[in-house]
Structure 1
Amino acid sequence: MSSDSTSASVPGNSDGEFPRAFYATIRLVDGFTDVTGKLIALSMLFLVVTISYEVVMRYGFGAPTIWVYESSFMVNGAAFMLGAGYALLKGAHVRTDIYWENYSERTKGIVDLISYLFLFYPAMIIFMLISIDDAWHSYETGERSQESVWRAIMWPFRATIPLAAVLLMIQGISEVLKCWYQVRFGREFVHKEKIEI
């Protein structure tokens, strides 16, 4: 984090014109996303344990399971979707840098703000509404997987899709406020290091 962004994140800094409620909202949303992202990451422990169990049972005892394959791809898929909000917080989503690096900080803020308001939120709302309908249909019909004889219930897996959209939109609130800050003051609220998750 740069020295500018450190001072920017504290309410009542020398600029003093960015409303205190915005700082509080950013801290609340970022804290929520950080906690949920770390909780979702714990699902990787489930994958390690169950896949290790499958390897031992299959190759050590000649007794493969019927549930590990399906549960592992469902948990991995759910973690991938539900972790998207955390990736947004950390700046891990794809961005085309060929032009981006040449923009001023204020221009970057304007482009991001317009993108969030007119592309991100409409797309996430549509994505959420369609996927809620799919998850509800899956629940009502008692849909089961056709991938194996285990025939896992599908609605919890399908429900992760609208939940992922909700988590993304929640983090989007913080990102919109950070963009607003960037447009107003011509510097990043917090510098993101373009990490890979």
Structure 2
Amino acid sequence: MKRPTAPWGVLAFFYKEAEVQPMLTFLHLIDKMSTKIGQLFSWLIVVLTAVIVFEVFTRYAFNHPNPWVFDASYILYGILFMMAGAYTLSKGGHVRGDILYGFFSPRTQASLDLILYFVFFFPGIIALTYAGYTFAEDAWLIKEMSSVTADGPPIYPFKTFIPLAGFFLLLQGVVEVIRCVMCIKAGEWPKREEDVEEVDVEKLKASLGKN
């Protein structure tokens, strides 16, 4: 059996021995999990909106501001932001230099992504998960309360989401690395799970023009 000579040939060689469909099934399983988690926590936007509307109403209608709203708003937004990380990664939605990246071939894109995952992504997320676990453990031990406002709400449940979000990001990161290896071998990106996508205005105009 001839070993591949392309960049990252060792990784591509190991992938060659695997069955493609079971691997895709595994990738889509993790993608679905990340999607479900992202969709579940997206409902916090509704809760956050209701809290802000309630605060605006009571402040201006009854001249009765609620100090707890500030804590509640950043806790809700923080949880939403963290728990949407794996979902966004599974959809390829994180910010990247698309101006240059988009001109590269899929193999070059995958090779570059693979390098960046191991140089930046995994060290950063592992550090986040480890530090987040320490923060959450300490917060639970002392039953930490918010010090931003008087009689602030408990924030130790909030800190629990830091290592949890890190774990799901790590899991999705492993999937993305496998996806990169598959792309290097096959020359094209494996299909992702379909979900709600941004509207392509030009394609929409073309579609309407045909009707």
Normalising by structure 1, report the TM-score: 0.83
Where does residue 25 of structure 1 map in the other structure?
Answer: 26
Where does residue 73 of structure 1 map in the other structure?
Answer: 74
Where does residue 151 of structure 1 map in the other structure?
Answer: 152
CA distance in 2, matches of 1:194, 1:60: 39
Please give the per-residue CA displacement for 1:3-28, whole angstroms capped at 9, x wherever unaligned.
xxxxxxxxxxxx9x743321111111
Identity of aligned residues (%): 29
Where does residue 51 of structure 1 map in the other structure?
Answer: 52
**Residues 130-149 of structure 1: pairs in structure 2 closer than 5 A:** 130-149=131-150
Deviation at 1:175, TM superposition (A): 1.3
Relative distance call for 1:52 and 1:145 in structure 2 (3 A) is same
Which structure is larger by alpha-carbon Rg, 1 or 2? 2
After superposition, the CA RMSD in angstroms is 2.5
CA distance in 1, matches of 2:101, 2:67: 48
* SS at structure 2 position matched to 1:153: coil
**Residues 38-187 of structure 1: pairs in structure 2 closer than 5 A:** 38-187=39-188
CA distance in 2, matches of 1:18, 1:101: 29
Please give the per-residue CA displacement for 1:81-109, whole angstroms capped at 9, x wherever unaligned.
11111111122211113432232111111
Moved more, 109-118 or 126-135: 109-118
Deviation at 1:79, TM superposition (A): 0.7
- Structure 1: gaps (5+ residues): 1-14
Moved more, 22-31 or 147-156: 147-156
CA distance in 2, matches of 1:118, 1:69: 37
Relative distance call for 1:118 and 1:195 in structure 2 (3 A) is farther
Letter in 1 for 2:174: I
Deviation at 1:122, TM superposition (A): 2.6
Moved more, 64-73 or 114-123: 114-123
Deviation at 1:137, TM superposition (A): 0.9
CA distance in 1, matches of 2:19, 2:183: 11
CA distance in 2, matches of 1:47, 1:170: 28
Q: Which has the higher contact order (CA 8 A, sep 6+)?
A: 1
Where does residue 3 of structure 1 map in the other structure?
Answer: none
Normalising by structure 2, report the TM-score: 0.78
CA distance in 2, matches of 1:163, 1:57: 35
